[in-house]
Amino acid sequence: MSTLDGLWRRGTDFLGSDYAIMGGAMSWVSERHLVAALSNAGAFGVIANGSMPPELLEQEIIETKALTDKAFGVNLIIMHPQLDALIEVCKRQNVSHVVLAGGIPSGNHIKAIKEYGGKVMGFAPSAIIGRKLVRLGADALVIEGMEAGGHIGPVTTSVLAQEVLPQIREVPVFIAGGIGRGEAMVSYLEMGASGVQLGTRFVCASECIAHAKFKELFIRSQARDAIPSVQLDPDFPVIPVRAIANQATDHFMRFQKEVIEQYRGGALDKKTAQLKIEHFWAGALRKAVIDGDVEHGSVMAGQSVGMVSKIQPVREIIEELVTQGEEYLSARRDRHLVLASERSEEFQPIA
């Protein structure tokens, strides 16, 4: 048994995996091939439902089961207009873990999942919301810092971990955002986390279906290249999206301006205008991930993109993370033994 086994035992028991490493749910990226590869490698894959209708989600789950007999989860966006039907799909397919993202889910949705035997995970951007999710019945939490790719909050991973981990111990807590190496993974486990979630690190997995140009840009990019989108008008709050800077970044600014002008001119009501702005990224992401248009599409990436240096099989990435963590713990243990030995020699009686 390794030292890591003891540190993340609560997380592995909860997920039913060998390693308490969850794959982040990335739209167009976290589909059957990557999800199955993660679970087969001992980690825990999560299907990103995104805007998929129920029939497509069901097919994706069935196809994933054909590729792995290991546990995996499904990520559902609570704003999805067919959320009830999506939960029914998860029930019908007996999905063991459902991650509810994009806000605070209703108690009824959490209850519907738990009643069929599923485990519910929710995103907690603060300790207050984390406690509320636990009261509603969430079985585990994910806290994700602003270093992550895609839609992000305003607080860093390190600050969230310090805020949430000491206060919420009733359920397992998984840390996400900016994690690219095993040493960082261990540091959060030692703070009290039950596991971690990584997304950016797995985009360049050989099993990932993302376009070759998408992966090439990841490999060329540094942490500073992954920047958050900017809100143009305070009357139209936009959840920031972290992506590698390209022409789509500039286009989003122009698009916001055009939509807001349409609203001011009476062509759109505020809700429709807000939805148009929010939906910009969905199409832009597909354009980059599937079509390979990395100039005009959205290349969502976390700041850990600077640690992505080559195409690797998922199993190799997982083994690399675990080895880094174990070596870090082993080196620290050796340093402590040396220091203890030196202190002991200092207090030896003089003959």
Does residue 347 have a pLDDT over 70? no
Lowest mean pLDDT among 108-117, 238-247, 277-286, 333-342: 333-342
Residue 173 lies in a domain: yes
Tell me which residue of 148, 120, 145, 149 sits closest to 135, measured CA to CA.
120
Residue pLDDT, tens place only, 140-179: 999 999 999 999 999 999 999 999 999 999 999 999 999 9
Task: Report whether 10 contacts 185 (CB < 8 A).
Answer: no
pLDDT at 253: 86
Q: How confident is the model at residue 91 (pLDDT cuts 50, 70, 90)?
A: very high
Does residue 218 have a pLDDT over 90? yes
Residue 309 lies in a domain: no
Q: Tell me how far apart the alpha carbons of residues 348 and 327 are, in angstroms, rounded to a whole number.
A: 32
Pinpoint the alpha helices (H) of 8-73: 9-15, 32-40, 54-67
pLDDT at 250: 85
pLDDT at 278: 76
Q: Choose one of 303, 322, 346: the last residue of a domain.
A: 303
pLDDT at 280: 82
pLDDT at 274: 79
Q: In terms of domains, do 239 and 90 share one?
A: no
Q: In terms of domains, do 204 and 220 share one?
A: no
Q: Please give the tally of structural domains in the chain.
A: 2
Q: How confident is the model at residue 344 (pLDDT cuts 50, 70, 90)?
A: low
Q: In terms of domains, do 237 and 296 share one?
A: yes
Residue 227 lies in a domain: yes
* Mean pLDDT confidence for 252-273: 89
Residue 329 lies in a domain: no
In one-letter notation, the amino acid at residue 93 is Q
Q: In terms of domains, do 26 and 149 share one?
A: yes
Q: Choose one of 147, 180, 210: the last residue of a domain.
A: 210
Residue 84 lies in a domain: yes
pLDDT at 57: 98
pLDDT at 283: 84
Q: Tell me how far apart the alpha carbons of residues 229 and 238 are, in angstroms, rounded to a whole number.
A: 9
Q: How confident is the model at residue 230 (pLDDT cuts 50, 70, 90)?
A: confident
Task: Report whether 160 contacts 265 (CB < 8 A).
Answer: no
* Mean pLDDT confidence for 230-236: 81
Residue 323 lies in a domain: no
Residue 349 lies in a domain: no
Task: Report whether 43 contacts 34 (CB < 8 A).
Answer: no
* Mean pLDDT confidence for 75-86: 95
Q: Tell me how far apart the alpha carbons of residues 297 and 283 are, in angstroms, rounded to a whole number.
A: 8
pLDDT at 211: 98
The share of the chain scoring above pLDDT 90, in percent, equals: 79
Beta bridge partners of 174: 142, 195
Tell me which residue of 210, 232, 226, 222 sits closest to 300, measured CA to CA.
226
pLDDT at 109: 98
Residue pLDDT, tens place only, 193-206: 999 999 999 999 99
* Mean pLDDT confidence for 98-105: 95
Where is 120: in which H helix or E strand? strand 119-123
Does residue 3 have a pLDDT over 90? no
Q: In terms of domains, do 201 and 233 share one?
A: no
Does residue 346 have a pLDDT over 70? no
Does residue 1 have a pLDDT over 60? no
The CATH number covering residue 30 comes to: 3.20.20.70
Q: In terms of domains, do 80 and 193 share one?
A: yes
More confident residue, 186 or 251: 186
The share of the chain scoring above pLDDT 70, in percent, equals: 95
Please, what is the average pLDDT of the chain?
A: 93
By DSSP bridging, strand 97-101 and strand 72-77 are parallel
Residue 100 lies in a domain: yes
Domain that holds residue 146: 3-210
Q: How confident is the model at residue 213 (pLDDT cuts 50, 70, 90)?
A: very high
Does residue 277 have a pLDDT over 90? no
pLDDT at 281: 79
In this structure, the chain runs to a length of 351
Q: How confident is the model at residue 340 (pLDDT cuts 50, 70, 90)?
A: low
More confident residue, 333 or 197: 197
Q: Nearest-5° angle of CA 119, CA 141, CA 42?
A: 65
Task: Report whether 7 contacts 39 (CB < 8 A).
Answer: no
Q: In terms of domains, do 82 and 182 share one?
A: yes
Q: In terms of domains, do 121 and 236 share one?
A: no
Q: In terms of domains, do 164 and 81 share one?
A: yes
Please identify which residue in the block is written with the tokens 């806290």: 143
Q: In terms of domains, do 92 and 199 share one?
A: yes
In one-letter notation, the amino acid at residue 188 is Y
Q: In terms of domains, do 188 and 289 share one?
A: no
What are the backbone dihedrals phi and psi of residue 95, each rounded to the nearest 5 degrees, phi first? Answer: -70, 125
Q: Choose one of 168, 190, 210: the last residue of a domain.
A: 210
By DSSP bridging, strand 45-48 and strand 226-228 are unpaired
Q: In terms of domains, do 202 and 291 share one?
A: no
**CA count, 13 A, side-chain hemisphere, 111:** 5
Tell me which residue of 22, 92, 23, 24 sits closest to 57, measured CA to CA.
92
